[in-house]
Each structure stands twice: as C-alpha cells, then as structure tokens.
Structure 1
C-alpha cells in the first residue's frame, strides 16, 4: 500500500517566527501533537507538544518564545509513493510516530502516522514500528 492512500492530507503549517503559544493553540484546534514549520515554501522543521513541554516549559521559556527556538530542525520525511511497510520500518528505526509526506519535488502533501497505518489494515507492521519506537533513545530522548 502506498503512503498517499493512508496519509492525512489536511495539513496545517506554522511559521518559525510565530510563538509556541500559537503552536499550542493550533495543536489544540486540530487535536494533534505536531505541526510542520515552514519558511516560505520550504519545510524547515517540526514542532511537537513534547518540544514545547521539554525544550520550552521545562527550560523556563515563556509562551511568547519563537517556535524556531524549540522546534526540531532535522526533519525526517517520506514520499507519497513510498510503500507503507517500508515507511513503518523506517519509523521504527528512527523512532518517530509521524512523518511529513512529500512529493518527489519536495512539496508537503500530508502527514502519515502509525494511527493512519493501523486503521488501513497494517497492524502487524504498526506493531513492529511501535516496538522499535519504544526502545530507549531516539531523536527526542532527553537522556542521550
């Protein structure tokens, strides 16, 4: 199954100069824990609820802190024509639960999550991905 068949297509973006309060409000409105960050027509980062909690609140930064100060800049992504089984394995390896989805010209067209794959009948692959993601460490680990 291709990523484009199961991804979430309604993606809202935020700018790095906006505040973490803006990001938190956007997440609340969308009932999501992640928002892609764009500058012009480029994807320059991702901001998660965990970024706000750990990189901002825990460090004593206020709600008017620019997103750029706490976002994850090293954006991992997949392509819309990738196979979901391959993407699930990659998500396990890099320990993430969601990935932005790009066209081959590097235009953002969606986000894929483990939940998207689980409801599309890929539950065995999702289980393997969750097991990999649940290992200690990873990009958002606070201990490594």
Structure 2
C-alpha cells in the first residue's frame, strides 16, 4: 500500500510571519526544539527561517537583533512538497535537494503540515527514512 505524505506529516506546525521579531522566532524554535520555521502570510507559505539564518544574517552582521524581523533573515526560495505526494517521491526529493524537513502544502497551496526525516523514519519505516538521511548526508 502506497503511503502519502498526508499520512505521516506533522500537522501541528509552528510558523512565523514576515513581521515576527527575530527574538520571538528564536524563542519559538527553542521552545519547540526545532531549527526552522515556515514563514506564512495569509495562509500562504512565503519563506523559511532557520536558526542558521538568524546567526548568519542577523547576529554576524552585528545589527540590532531585537528590532529585526523575520523578513530580514528568511530565505525566500521555498522548497516544499504536496500532501498528496507519495512518501517515496518525497524521500527521493529530500535527498536530491539535501533538505531535512519540508513544509507540506495542499492543492490550494496552503500550508497544512511539515515532514521531517524523523517523520519518515518513525512513521513511514526505517528504510525510507534511512535512505533519505543517507542522501541528505552526502
């Protein structure tokens, strides 16, 4: 039986808006024990921000981090998958693009979840998660 991403994705997604402050986004990541947040506006995915983005685009530049907003550090190039894609497709894609987690959108391009290598390993089976991890690690 073919599994789809909708069957294994995490649906309780924390996200930031472009106007979220950098300290608030960092606290959200810390409190949720995650390293990235989708950035959404009006239910649409507009970017991603990672802990690395905050360090390299805010902290390293020496600006006033307390005044900075997510829009100043987020990555606008969005990589995502669709909830209707198969687990195999997404595993291959994550390996090809070297991503450890991907936002999941529905047919209306609305953010509905996130899928990580952990989700793939825990819910789809060790083989799929392990293969994707090998690809990402290369």
Q: TM-score, normalised by structure 2?
A: 0.90
Please, which runs of 5 or more residues in structure 1 have no aligned partner? 136-144
2:42 aligns with 40
- Flag the structure with higher helix content: 2
1:139 aligns with none
d(CA) in 1 for partners of 2:24, 2:32: 12
Alpha-carbon contact 1:89-1:125 (below 8 Å) kept: no
The match for 1:122 among 116, 120, 125 is 125
Shift of 1:26: 0.9
Provide the secondary structure at the position in 1 that maps to 2:9.
coil
Q: TM-score, normalised by structure 1?
A: 0.86
Residue 82 (structure 1) aligned with residue 85 (structure 2): yes
How has the CA–CA distance of structure 1 residues 45 and 131 changed in structure 2, closer, same or farther, with 3 Å as cutoff?
A: same
1:71 aligns with 74
Q: Aligned pair count?
A: 135
Alpha-carbon contact 1:99-1:111 (below 8 Å) kept: yes
Runs of 4+ in 1 over 3 A off after TM superposition: none
Once the two structures are overlaid, the 10-residue window that deviates more, 52-61 or 37-46, is 52-61
Provide the secondary structure at the position in 1 that maps to 2:15.
coil
2:10 aligns with 8
Shift of 1:33: 1.4
How has the CA–CA distance of structure 1 residues 92 and 61 changed in structure 2, closer, same or farther, with 3 Å as cutoff?
A: farther
d(CA) in 2 for partners of 1:85, 1:63: 40
Provide the secondary structure at the position in 2 that maps to 1:127.
helix
Provide the secondary structure at the position in 2 that maps to 1:45.
strand
Residue 106 (structure 1) aligned with residue 109 (structure 2): yes
